[in-house]
């Protein structure tokens, strides 16, 4: 089949790309804005924060995540070139840019770009009010400062309120919250906010123990150091014996791990 394009098409097209300052009537050659810029302008106009550990899923239009993947891959390609990696000839890094873009947007930072997993809550019909803990729940994040992994465990203590959620749902919401660039102190607060929103407990306690690869892999290179922090709210905050019971239950769950 012969082409329907005129034979002069390719040369005409390349000529059109060249700057033509004298062509006063020609339409201005305006490149479309990068999708990330369009999104940032929209968020700025609506005064919506988009810090590294914010979720922006509900502000993305249909198709923009796919466009972001293409844009980010291009920038990672530029990063590799700036690091003087011959991505055109190195078979190992040939498609690294595309892999990294997918990994950031759909895996390790999916908690920024994807909606919270659907989590149904149920009325606490039996009026349960004894505390329970769930853990360890694996948490995986990356530090906002270096974008290297933070890996650890989390324990969640609940004194139920009017609504309850299934145990596995704590893992799902923790995974979604931690899959963003973070500092550990803020990650725990954001997780606490989400759990309070989901099941409105009378008391909530969260403990996170994590290893930070910006301390293990680089910097001071301390392989054993971990960071432990916690947040206690509601009855766990007001009642010291309840708080002590939470930490005791976590200790018991940890001892189960070594048996």
Under rule CB under 5 A, residue 218 binds Zn ion: no
Under rule CB under 5 A, residue 143 binds Zn ion: yes
Count, residues near Zn ion per rule CB under 5 A: 4
Report the alpha-carbon distance of residue 203 to residue 182 in Å, rounded: 25
Under rule CB under 5 A, residue 197 binds Zn ion: no
DSSP 9-37: HHHHHHHHHS--TT-TTSPP--PPPPHHH
Under rule CB under 5 A, residue 145 binds Zn ion: yes
Residues 6+ apart with CB under 8 A from 49: 43
- Choose among 56, 33, 53, 32: nearest CA to 44: 56
Nearer to Zn ion, 206 or 210 (CB): 210
Only segment of 38-46, 121-129, 136-144, 235-243 that touches Zn ion (CB under 5 A): 136-144
Nearer to Zn ion, 143 or 207 (CB): 143
State the DSSP H helix or E strand holding residue 172, giving kind and residue range, or none if neither.
Answer: helix 167-178
- My answer on whether omega of the bond before 136 falls inside 30° of 0, hence cis, is yes
DSSP β-bridge partners for residue 227: 210
Nearest residue to Zn ion, scored by beta-carbon proximity: 214
Q: Which of 146, 163, 172, 237 binds Zn ion (CB under 5 A)?
A: 146
Nearer to Zn ion, 76 or 143 (CB): 143
Under rule CB under 5 A, residue 87 binds Zn ion: no
Residues 6+ apart with CB under 8 A from 249: 131, 132, 133, 157
Tokens of 16: 């059109």
Only segment of 3-11, 90-98, 209-217, 237-245 that touches Zn ion (CB under 5 A): 209-217
- The C-alpha angle with vertex 174 and arms to 233 and 58, in degrees rounded to 5, equals 100
Mask 151-170, x = binds Zn ion (CB under 5 A)?
Answer: --------------------
Distance from first CA to last CA of the chain, Å, rounded?
72
Only segment of 55-63, 70-78, 127-135, 211-219 that touches Zn ion (CB under 5 A): 211-219
Minimum Å gap between C-beta 158 and Zn ion is 31
Minimum Å gap between C-beta 192 and Zn ion is 22
Minimum Å gap between C-beta 146 and Zn ion is 4
User: Can you say whether the dihedral through the CA atoms of 234, 237, 242, 243 is positive or negative?
Assistant: positive
Minimum Å gap between C-beta 218 and Zn ion is 8
Phi-psi region of 219 (alpha: psi -120 to 50; beta: other; left: phi over 0): left
Nearer to Zn ion, 65 or 147 (CB): 147
Q: Which of 80, 103, 214, 231 binds Zn ion (CB under 5 A)?
A: 214
Summarize as ranges the residues that interact with Zn ion (CB under 5 A): 143, 145-146, 214
């Amino acid at each position: 089949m012969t082409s329907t394009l005129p034979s002069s098409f390719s040369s005409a097209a390349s000529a059109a790309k060249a700057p033509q300052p004298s062509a006063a009537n020609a339409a201005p050659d305006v490149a479309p804005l990068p999708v990330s810029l369009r999104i940032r302008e929209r968020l700025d106009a609506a005064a919506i924060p988009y810090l590294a550990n914010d979720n922006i899923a509900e502000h993305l239009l249909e198709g923009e995540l796919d466009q972001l993947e293409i844009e980010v891959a291009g920038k990672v390609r530029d990063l590799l070139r700036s690091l003087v990696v011959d991505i055109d000839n190195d078979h190992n890094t040939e498609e690294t840019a595309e892999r990294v873009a997918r990994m950031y947007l759909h895996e390790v930072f999916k908690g920024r770009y994807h909606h919270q997993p659907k989590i149904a809550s149920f009325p606490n019909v039996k009026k349960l009010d004894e505390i329970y803990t769930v853990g360890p729940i694996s948490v995986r994040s990356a530090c906002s400062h270096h974008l290297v992994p933070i890996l650890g465990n989390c324990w969640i203590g609940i004194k139920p309120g009017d609504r309850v959620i299934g145990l596995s749902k704590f893992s799902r919401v923790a995974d979604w919250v931690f899959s963003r660039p973070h500092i550990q102190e803020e990650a725990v607060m954001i997780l606490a906010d989400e759990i309070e929103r989901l099941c409105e407990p009378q008391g909530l306690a969260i403990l996170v123990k994590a290893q930070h690869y910006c301390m293990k892999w680089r910097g001071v290179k301390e392989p054993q150091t971990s960071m432990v922090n916690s947040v206690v709210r509601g009855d766990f905050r007001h009642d010291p014996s309840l708080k002590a019971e939470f930490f005791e239950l976590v200790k018991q769950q940890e001892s189960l791990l070594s048996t």
